[in-house]
Amino acid sequence: MGLRLEYIISIIVALIFVSFFLINIEQKSRQKNESTKQLAFSDTRLIEVDTQKILGLAHSRYGVYENKTLILSDIIYHTDTVNLLQAQKGIYKGDYLFLEGNVTLNQKNGFDYTAQKAAYNQKSEVLSIESPFEAHMNKNIISGINLVYNMKEKKITAQKIKAVVFTLEK
């Protein structure tokens, strides 16, 4: 009285079907390899506009848009008040442009700023430098550990500054 071969084969086939439907190995491996990039581009000019005028121009060597965040490499940015704002990396998130690596601000009729980290609020036109900075205008030199510059009101707040300022003789 032994087991019949038909019973053994039917049990093995049933186990294969059950394991096939219960264990989904392929989907797990597919999730790991999926990219979250929604858009990637290179050598692109971005133009920000409203109904009346151009708000800003940005040029980037390479960019990626993912999770409602735009990440740009070698960004160059211009507005009405900013002649040149550039950095190695720029991250657009909402109204903010976060800048990292050799950040340079060349302002129309003002100082030229250099730092390693900064954030620019496009609506309020406030530049926040979160690293040691240097500012130059003619022979005037200002340096410090951080700076907040309101471009609309033309007000600067900085900490631990060192300055060389030349004034006109009267």
Please check whether residue 87 lies inside any domain of the structure: yes
Q: What is the CATH number of the domain that holds 94?
A: 2.60.450.10
- By the 8 A CB rule, do 69 and 83 touch? no
Total-model pTM: 0.69
Candidates 72, 139, 122; CA nearest to 101 is 72
Give pLDDT tens digits for 80-94.
878 888 999 999 888
Asked whether residue 160 is assigned to any structural domain, the reply reads yes
Residue 54 lies in a domain: yes
3-state SS string for 76-126? EEECCCEEEEEEEEEEEECCEEEEEEEEEEEECCCCEEEEEEEEEECCCCE
Query: What total number of domains does the chain contain?
Result: 1
Q: What is the model's pLDDT at position 26?
A: 60
95 occurs within a structural domain = yes
Residue 105 neighbours by CB distance under 10 Å: 26
Any domain includes 44: yes
CA geometry: angle at 72 spanning 153 and 99, to 5°? 40
Q: Is residue 114 part of a domain?
A: yes
Q: Which range among 31-40, 42-51, 96-105 has the greatest average pLDDT? A: 96-105
Which domain range does residue 88 map to?
39-164
- Is residue 79 assigned to a domain? yes
Concatenating the DSSP letter of every residue in 63-75 gives EEEETTEEEEEEE
Residue 6 lies in a domain: no
Is it the case that residue 30 has pLDDT exceeding 80? no
Task: Kindly tell me if the per-residue pLDDT of 56 is higher than 90.
Answer: no
